[in-house]
Amino acid sequence: MTNSVETGHNKNQANFGTLTSYVTAYGATYNPSNPYIVLTSLNNILDRAHTAIQAVDASKPIYSVARAEREVAFAPLKQLSRRVMNALLASTTTPEIDASVKTIVHKIQGIRATPWKTEDEKQAIEAAGKSAKQISSAQTSYDNQLENLYMLIQLLLKVPQYAPNEIDLQPATLTALYTDLKAKNAAVIAATVPLSNARIARDEVLYKADSGLFDVAAEVKIYVKSVYGASSPQYKQISKIKFTKPR
**Structure confidence by residue, pLDDT tens digits, 163-190:** 999 999 999 999 999 999 999 999 999 9
| Region class of 229: left (phi > 0), else alpha (psi between -120 and 50), else beta | left
Q: How many CA atoms lie within 13 A of 174 on its CB side?
A: 26
What whole-number percentage of the chain has pLDDT above 70? 85
pLDDT (average), residues 188-213: 96
Q: Are 191 and 56 in contact (CB under 8 A)?
A: no
The pLDDT confidence band at residue 128, using thresholds 50, 70 and 90, is: low
Exposed e or buried b per residue across 99-126, where buried means at least 16 C-beta atoms within 10 angstroms of its C-beta: ebbeebbbbbbebeeeeeeeeeebeeee
Question: Is 80 exceeded by the pLDDT of residue 38?
Answer: yes
110: confidence class by pLDDT, cuts 50, 70, 90:
confident
Residues 78-101 pLDDT 10s? 999 999 999 999 999 999 999 999
Average pLDDT over every residue of 126-131:
57
pLDDT single digits (tens) 50-69: 999 999 999 999 999 999 99
Instruction: With a cut of 50, say whether residue 4 has pLDDT above it.
Output: no
Which of 115-129, 197-211, 220-234 shows the lowest per-residue confidence on average (mean pLDDT)? 115-129
Confidence band (pLDDT; 50, 70, 90) for 137? very low
Q: Is the pLDDT of residue 6 over 80?
A: no
**Helix/strand/coil for 115:** coil
Q: Return the minimum-mean-pLDDT range out of 4-8, 69-73, 106-110, 178-182.
A: 4-8
- Work out the average pLDDT over 101-123: 72
Question: What would you measure as the largest C-alpha separation in the chain, in angstroms?
Answer: 91
Q: What is the structure's pLDDT at 116?
A: 46
- What band does 136 get if pLDDT is binned at 50, 70 and 90? very low
**Higher-confidence position of 140 and 89:** 89
Give the Cα separation of 188 and 63 in Å (integer). Answer: 6
pLDDT, mean of residues 209-213: 96
Q: Whole-number mean pLDDT of the chain?
A: 89
**Are the C-beta atoms of 151 and 81 separated by less than 8 Å?**
no
